[in-house]
Amino acid sequence: SREWHLTGRPVGWPKPEDFQLAEVEIAQPGPGQVLVKNLYVSVDPYMRGRMSAAKSYVAPYELDKAMQGGAVGVVVASNDEGVAVGDHVLHFNGWREYATFDAKQAVKVDPEAAPLSAYLGVLGMTGLTAYAGLLRTLSFKEGDTVFVSGAAGAVGSQVGQIAKLLGAGRVVGSAGSAEKVKLLIEEYGFDAAFNYKDGSVFEQLKQAAPDGIDVYFDNVGGDHLEAAIGQLNRDGRIAICGAISVYNNTEAAPGPRNLSRLIQTRGRIEGFLVGDHYDLQPQFVQQVGAWIRSGELKYRETVVEGIENNLEAFLGVLRGDNIGKMVVKLGE
């Protein structure tokens, strides 16, 4: 079985030399354990943080050990009464073909209810991030003008559509290509969208939201955040979900120069972590699941095949190769 190891701590953009696809023996499950064959493996921006040794909300990857991440697989051996061979489970032992772990860490998923990859994306971690960030952190309300960056990605594409479905006054998105901008308008129903690579984010946002914005869902940080503060309306809210534009920086990025606008706007900026909001999961799955079934909420996935392409898929997320959730497919 093959699994990815981190062999060095990347500085700046991760390089292939800092990773190794290792060949290992499959560990047979001990008491209370299961052996799972992974079918879909997740790659996510936060993994960049785990490659560094810096202290954060989740421990750094250990060097020369299997890397971790979300995955969905099928149970091929079980020493636990609650989990049967053939069950499909969501778990946290990605970046590898086979995983042996405590059955307690497995969450059963239903392959009939949704495609397996959806449990990593639209009905999984990234979907809940969008839902919790919008409803809780941003206290979204009907009529709000919403701005979201990374809008063609896994989280961002759901933020915009959920806001629209819940009665947003106007939804504006930014993304990194003309193709993505077209998708936002034509398929996801955004009212306006722009390519942040085309010019000043501040000017483009001003044009897209001439009456200002009430909430900003920040996936990227940097000049997007400054532009959003600049366009914030009275009592505006900003949720810091991610800052992908600075994840590979080797020096601290400059902060927004216009924070004092929060005084006149009585604005609020607040960071959040999806892990604190799993109590919303049942409500989220019910509401978003229904919108997916009715076709009101659309989603795309970018699927890369083969464990040997797991690293490239991850780097692709940092580069913006993906539309919607990026997943690695290892089997049916």
List interacting residues with ligand NDP (CB under 6 A).
Answer: 44-46, 126, 129, 150, 152-156, 175-177, 180, 196, 219-220, 241-242, 244-245, 272-274, 317-318, 320, 322
- The dihedral over CA atoms of 309, 313, 314, 319, expressed in degrees to the nearest 10, equals 140
3-class SS of residue 139:
coil
The least CB distance from residue 139 to ligand NDP, in Å, is 17
Nearer to ligand NDP, 1 or 195 (CB): 195
CA-wise closest residue to 158 among 285, 318, 279 = 285
> From the CB of 233, what's the least distance to ligand NDP, in Å?
23
How near is the Cβ of 300 to ligand NDP at its closest, in Å? 10
Nearer to ligand NDP, 37 or 136 (CB): 136
CB of 100 to ligand NDP, least distance (A): 27
Choose between 83 and 327: whose C-beta lies nearer to ligand NDP. Answer: 327
Question: Least distance to ligand NDP from the beta carbon of 321, Å?
Answer: 7
Residues near 312 by beta carbon (within 8 Å), at least 6 away in sequence:
304
The Cα 120–Cα 137 span in angstroms is 22
Q: Of 29 and 150, which CB lies nearer to ligand NDP in the complex structure?
A: 150
State in angstroms the smallest separation of the CB of 222 from ligand NDP. 7
* Complex with ligand NDP: residue 219 or 231, whichever CB lies closer: 219
DSSP for 220-275 reads: S-HHHHHHHHHHEEEEEEEEE---GGGTT-SSPPPPPTTTTHHHHHT-EEEE--GG
CA 307, 51, 16, 319 dihedral sign is positive
Residue 73 carries which side chain, given as an amino acid letter? G
Of 69 and 267, the one with the shorter C-beta distance to ligand NDP is: 69
State how far the Cα of 124 lies from the Cα of 275, in Å rounded to an integer. 12
